[in-house]
Structure 1
């Protein structure tokens, strides 16, 4: 039977090692808490001395600082000793016992107080001790708690430790011993344990090479780039060490120390030579200076121009280190300029057109190939002969230049005759301010009779405004340069608007694309420009076919027929355009031009026919008719607003497109003053605009296609149209007629877009019906028969505001020539200004529609 004391002794013997470790951990905790200020001061002082703070202090300041540090260190040490208590064995056992469940160590040291003479009680006690001994056997040493945040709230110990580590890595720990020599009256040079001189070589930053420490280089030769900076520091008395070098342009000056400090010398390497240091630890180094060659740049190919005028010039540049900057310079080649018309005047002095060359953002700049991409279409020299040269510069300031190339400055080309004329006047105005009167005269000429010439009313209005500003600038004297630049920007916007359109009708866009392509072929456009114009024609043709499909309710398998007995499918149409493009690529422009004219005639006479059943209606046809009526009303209101604005520019005079005094009009009618009838007219227009907005809002409540993509697109477009109408109404009430016209134009565009989207939504719904199943519109049309509305030419007014016919009104074989004759006759009558205004307005509408 085991004695209780034996059990206790054996258990305590097994935990002797964890108990010692726990006691040591407690000692470490108390040492850290009591002496952390001492260690912090020692680390901070050592770091400061390793970084050479003693070099910047006088002997008196050093003594004072040392005394203060000694007092602080002594105070911290005394305070720590007073607080420190070595942990006892009982404290260590209590700490270790606290980490065990049930405190078994305390139980092992207890004695049985009652029942010691009872065998049963003694047996129970022994069993208890054995269980506690088993628990104690699992004891592990308690970890020390070294957290000092509550005592060092500012983290000073970490600051000192970081400084000490940095001093070990980047400083000179051996310099700590200099303090004793300096305190005894010596100098840092006498205290230095290393060499009595130090030297560094720092290559120019643009070379990317690292700095060199000469004391760590044992080689007798050294290669450095030109311009490298040599720096030396000499310790000891003056004259003990001498420097002799032949690599700088002159003698390297040695600076005298300010007060018992080291001497220094600096010079840049300019030529190959030697650097010799005479004295203790001296040596001689043969230095080879690598010359910095000038950079070079060359053209890597011909300049390319995109259809929008954007140019791309590849170039290659190289240098022995790296290219720092580069420029492309365009200089007007005045000798190659065709000095006619506006260019006959002497040009105003203008700086060369300079562009920065792009450099690689990352990677090697010593040798690379890049692309200079820029759009100089707005520059006064666009499409004029220039001389192009490239220049690059390295880090040393040396430059290299390419060959000079003669070429036209790439810029956008305008194929619409009106746009080309406006751009030419813009160029003449920027060429010289003396061309201002001639520019104004030409602009007046091209805008004299705008009927059939200006397809965009907004472009015509902008041109008239620019002409009035130019006229006012000429009247005031020499044309102000800022006004000239503003007018040049306005003329550019007008030309772009005329060239690109802003035309909403698909047929007009298609005709404009065909005209531009034909003009490009006649003027010898580049392949890139022809390719872009061909893509534009394809897109416009596709849009026109979609519009025909929407207006004609095209069913699957429909064909687009021109005239009687002649039909063409979409595949055949695409094949014809592919053939046109092939002929142009082969240079057979005459054949391509003939085929393009044939395509133009076919598209102008094209209509959509259904395979069976005739033309029908679809659900929502009434909504389309209502929107078409709103669109016509908005167009009429926009026309009246435009005429009012013309009256503001030419009060009491005849406006472009207006005839003479109408029949039955008495002299003086409509000739109200600006402050009289004008305000009333604008107020009336504003009321009508508000009524149109209200009507559109009513129609939006019953639109079909809810939940479909096309239906949502239609509702979005009509919402934008409504907002544009609101803005137009506000502009009319405020007297800002020009802004009102712009907003009305936006409303017209959005209305048309909404009708197109709504037509697609209705077509999707129609596709869900069984083929041949009649719709509500078909029953209504069968009931109405031939009693539908007809226009003055006998055609029925179809859905979506289009004009159609259920009968072939052109008989005979040459229907294309007949259609062209009719169109020419309408244009001729529209140009006769003596006709009544109502008739002229109707003829203009016919031209806009057909």
Structure 2
């Protein structure tokens, strides 16, 4: 019944054809693989006749054997097998159902009706029957895909071989034809890679004169019989040569000729070697000092193919030094200072101008006559040098005490033979120091340096430690001096005014403006601190002072820049003069925000911390004054220390001298009723120390109460603020104990630790408040003076508006604003300066190098 249905019959026929293809493939694929391999050997013609016929015969025999094996296993598919495969793909196997008969209940009408309905459903399913394709996969039997390899080889043989294997070889173009017909050659001229010049193909260059750089590599290849061609050259300077070698490889070191004997036309080239000149380098201006710690030296370098490295060597010029006072003795040998100089990060390095920048402020050579040796290296390893003699710029110290300390530091670095002289002069500097030292810590550091100098001959390490102590003392005095900051500002203003009058370049004007901004920031900061200590009533009593904000100063500086850019130098000079007059007599007002209402809990805590810090500073100053009075008493040099030993240096409250007492009264200490702890027998000095101890205790108790009620609990910054205030309490407790014992020197150290911890607590509290402060209040308290973009005290090192309350960073972009280019140059200069400091960690130098390569 189903065979009479054309769709089913067609599906069964196609399924049977698929079965034939499947069984033929599975039975005879090894045979036709061998046949295709034989076709590949026959069509390619790569083997000789004997090998070719042998391979083809062997493959033919193998194919016959495989055909026999395949026929033995081959079984032709039947109609029933095709029907069964097709029936397996249909649901319910309808073909088998239609061939079945009802076995039980054939006489029952109901059963017959059900069976007839079932057969109709199965017949309906046959309408969707489709032929089943044969399974031609033999991958399991051919795991190495030999059949595909045979097909590929046969296809290559038929496509690239020849069907009839014509024996002629087609003519090859170019050098291939010459090789096939007789001796031939090829040659190349490869200039050094650093020159950037291309490689030349010698076969395309007409014989004659050719200009090449010195160091050019010549490569010649000779084809044909050995000795048919030979090379004669006079450019490499080789002693032993083999002219007939197939490969000739040599380097041009001098001008000469290259000839190829035996070649058609016997070509000869005259190679003119252009020498690689050594680089040149020289200073391009005077060395200068940029406050606070930058030494700059413009320099220029040039090379025909570019400079690859540069360095500067700075050595002491003893012959150019004024050999007086502490410099009379012979200087101790000191290794020259060798630093790398930054090269341009982009562009041509064959001729450029750069500025060397380094932090040489604390170097012993700063301020001394030096011999500067500049060195530049090119890619060929050649060096160019230049020497110059100059005074290495250093930081200027305007405070007389700071300047004297720096001079003694210079003498000690000059030679350790000045040890006794330096100690004697330092005693003179610290003699009766009350009222002349603005930094108590600097005084204590200097006295400690004197004690170390008195201990005997110094090692190099001890000398460097004492020199560092003197530097720290001098900088503390200088940075804390309002007069020195004003002097630096005046000097910067004078240099800028002189540059404007002389019509200096825009780059020089910009550099001087930046220097003046730094000096102005330093001066306004110290002036604001001084006025904060004087109190509000004293500020209001100064009716002749002028009130001015940092934003106003910045606006005037910006206006001066605009006038200079427009060429209106006269107006710029007048505005600069007005600025100088304003800076001479002004009152710096620090913006407190324009918000109204009572301050919040966080602001009140911050104000209380400021009061605590101010009171602690006053208490420390009072302790220092008492220590000065104690040093100034007669007979202090002969006082007995707490351990009962006479004249022991280093005891608390003693300046360190043994028999060189004040006014020659060094033996009268105990005779004047002086107790070993520095207090008189009748209680002189004891009441003052006890009073200071009680004040310290009250201050500590107030800080303890403030710490317990400090806002920001639970936050990282709030917890850090509490931890910092806890350290401050511990330091105050130590100071209280030292004051009670009369140990004023130890109390000063403890109070300094307490003040540092208070500052840390204020900073962390500011961070905590900044994290909880609403955006509107934060913007309101920034005090931006009408939205002007100031560059004054509230700017971070990148020139952006700094966060409030100790918050680090801001949301302001560095790449925006009128000064973005200047700030970017300053940042790149700082990266270059740091990358030239060899003493920095290697990981930091690698990071700086990656920054320079990227940007």
1:134 equivalent in structure 2: 128
| Cα separation, 1, equivalents of 2:345 and 2:477 | 40
**Cα distance between partner residues in 2 of 1:98 and 1:690:** 107
Q: Deviations over 1:255-294 (max 9, x none)?
A: 99xxxxx765542202333333335799646244343233
- Match for 2:754 among 744, 747, 751? 747
**Does the aligned pair in 2 maintain the 1:623–1:702 contact within 8 Å?**
no
Query: Which residue of structure 1 lines up, in the alignment, with residue 425 of structure 2?
Result: 442
Q: Distance in 2 between matches of 1:427 and 1:489?
A: 11
Offset, 1:308: 1.6
2:22, 2:136 within 8 Å by CA — same for their partners in 1? yes
Between the aligned partners of 1:436 and 1:589, the Cα distance in structure 2 is 47
1:306 — aligned with what?
290
Mapped pair 1:113 → 2:96: no
Check whether the contact 2:87–2:93 (CA below 8 A) recurs between aligned residues: no
Q: 2:316 touches 2:371 (CA, 8 Å); kept in 1?
A: yes
Q: Distance in 1 between matches of 2:464 and 2:24?
A: 87
| Structure 1 residue 635, shift from structure 2 partner | 7.0
2: CA distance between counterparts of 1:142 and 1:493? 92
Distance 1:400 1:273 in 2: 28
2-structure distance, mates of 1:542, 1:359 = 41
Corresponding position of 2:236 = 248
721, 732, 738: which one aligns with 2:728: 721
CA contact (8 A) 1:637 1:689 kept: no
2:485 to 499, 505, 516: 516
1:321 paired to 2:305: yes
Aligned equivalents of 1:753, 1:112: Cα separation in 2: 97
Q: Is the 8 A contact 1:428 1:435 kept in 2?
A: yes
Q: 1:526 to 1:192 in 2, by over 3 A?
A: farther
Aligned twin of 2:474: 495
TM-score w.r.t. structure 2 length?
A: 0.55
Whether the aligned pair in 1 keeps the contact of 2:488 and 2:519 (CA below 8 Å) is no
- What's the Cα RMSD here? 6.9
User: How far 1:443 moved relative to its partner?
Assistant: 1.6
Q: Are positions 1:429 and 2:412 aligned together?
A: yes
Name the SS for the 1:276 alignment partner.
Answer: strand
DSSP 3-state at the match of 2:376 = strand
- Partner SS, residue 494 of structure 1: helix
The alignment status of 1:228 with 2:216, answered yes or no, reads yes
Q: How far apart are 1:562 and its partner, in Å?
A: 1.0
Partner of 2:676: 671
Matches within 5 A, 1:693-732: 696-703=703-710, 715=722, 718-722=725-729, 724=731
Q: Which moved more, 1:331-340 or 1:521-530?
A: 521-530
Q: State the partner residue of 2:802.
A: none
Supply the distance in 1 between the matched residues of 2:459 and 2:70 (Cα, whole angstroms).
93
Q: Indicate yes or no: 2:10 matched with 1:10.
A: yes
Alignment of 1:448-467 (within 5 A): 448-467=431-450
Change (3 A) 1:209 1:194: farther
Superposed displacement of residue 366, structure 1: 3.4
Matching residue within 449, 458, 465 for 1:486: 465
Equivalent-residue separation in structure 2 for 1:313 and 1:408 (angstroms): 12
Contact 1:302 1:313 in 2 (8 A): yes
Q: How far has the Cα of 1:431 moved from its partner?
A: 2.7
Q: Deviations over 1:510-551 (max 9, x none)?
A: xx22443137648997555554332212123344566778x7
Q: Tell me what 1:534 maps to.
A: 520
Shift of 1:99: 13
Secondary structure at the counterpart of residue 254 of structure 1: coil
Tell me the distance in 1 between the aligned counterparts of 2:134 and 2:530: 90
Bigger drift between 622-631 and 317-326 goes to 622-631
Aligned residues: 633
CA 321–572 in structure 1, closer or farther in 2 if over 3 Å, else same: closer
- Residue 297 of structure 2 aligns to a residue in which SS? strand
Distance in 2 between residues matched to 1:407 and 1:21, nearest whole Å:
99
- Give, in whole Å, the separation in 2 of the partners of 1:14 and 1:728: 107
Match of 2:367 among 380, 383, 405: 383
Q: How many angstroms apart in 1 are the aligned matches of 2:262 and 2:83?
A: 71
Q: Deviations over 1:654-703 (max 9, x none)?
A: 65999999x99985652279xxxxxxxxxx99999999767743442235
Q: How far 1:360 moved relative to its partner?
A: 3.8
In structure 2, relative to structure 1, the CA distance for the partners of 1:439 and 1:757 (3 Å cut) is same
SS in 2 for 1:561: helix
Evaluate the alpha carbon distance shift between residue 102 and residue 290 of structure 1 in structure 2; reply closer, same or farther with a 3 A threshold.
farther
**Are the equivalent residues in 2 in contact too, given 1:11–1:133 (CA < 8 A)?**
no
Q: Distance in 1 between matches of 2:488 and 2:259?
A: 79
Task: Indicate the residue corresponding to 2:259 in structure 1.
Answer: 276
CA drift of 1:423 comes to 1.3
Contact 1:252 1:267 in 2 (8 A): no
- The 1:201/1:637 distance shift into structure 2, 3 A limit, reads same
Q: Which segment drifts farther, 451-460 or 119-128?
A: 119-128
In 2: Cα distance, 1:109 partner to 1:730 partner: 111
Asked if 2 retains the 8 angstrom alpha-carbon contact of 1:231 and 1:267, the reply is yes
Query: Helix, strand or coil: the match of 2:232?
Result: strand
Taking the aligned partners of 2:278 and 2:531, their CA distance within structure 1 comes to: 62
CA contact (8 A) 1:254 1:263 kept: no
Structure 1 residues 294, 338: CA separation in 2 closer, same or farther (over 3 Å shift)?
same
How far the C-alpha of 1:745 sits from its partner, in A, is 0.3
> Post-superposition shift, 1:421?
1.3
- The SS at the match of 1:461 is helix
Is the CA contact 1:430–1:488 (under 8 Å) kept in the aligned structure 2? yes
**Structure 1 residues 667 and 488 mapped into 2: Cα distance closer, same or farther (>3 Å)?**
closer
Aligned to 1:471: 454
Scaled by the length of structure 1, the TM-score of the pair is 0.55
**Contact 2:300–2:354 (Cα < 8 Å) also in 1:** yes
**Deviations 1:68-98, CA, capped at 9 Å, x for gaps:** xx9xxx9xx99xx99x99998999x99x999
Q: Where does 1:53-132 land on structure 2 (aligned, <5 Å)? A: 103-104=89-90, 112-115=98-101, 128=122, 131=125
Q: CA deviation at 1:310?
A: 0.7
CA contact (8 A) 1:416 1:516 kept: no
Residue 747 of structure 1 deviates from its aligned partner by 0.7
Closer, same or farther: CA 11–440 of 1 in aligned 2, 3 Å? same
1:670 match: secondary structure? coil
Secondary structure (helix, strand or coil) at the match of 2:454 reads: helix
- Partners of 2:735 and 2:122 lie apart in 1 by 100
Counterpart CA distance in 2 for 1:721 and 1:458 is 18
Question: Structure 1 residues 213 and 740, CA, compared in 2 at 3 Å: closer, same or farther?
Answer: farther
Check the 8 A contact 1:547/1:756 in 2, yes or no. Answer: no
| Residue 358 of structure 1: how far off its partner (Å) | 1.6
**Which residues of 2 match residues 624-663 of structure 1 at below 5 A?**
649=649, 651=651, 655=655
Residue pairs, 1:711-790, within 5 angstroms? 715=722, 718-722=725-729, 724=731, 741-751=748-758
Residues in 2 aligned to 1:300 and 1:755: alpha-carbon distance in whole angstroms: 48
Structure 1, unmatched stretches of 5+, are 39-69, 162-190, 257-261, 502-511, 553-558, 609-616, 674-683, 769-850
Higher mean Cα deviation, 579-588 or 460-469?
A: 579-588
Counterparts in 2 of 1:622 and 1:461: CA distance versus 1, 3 Å = closer
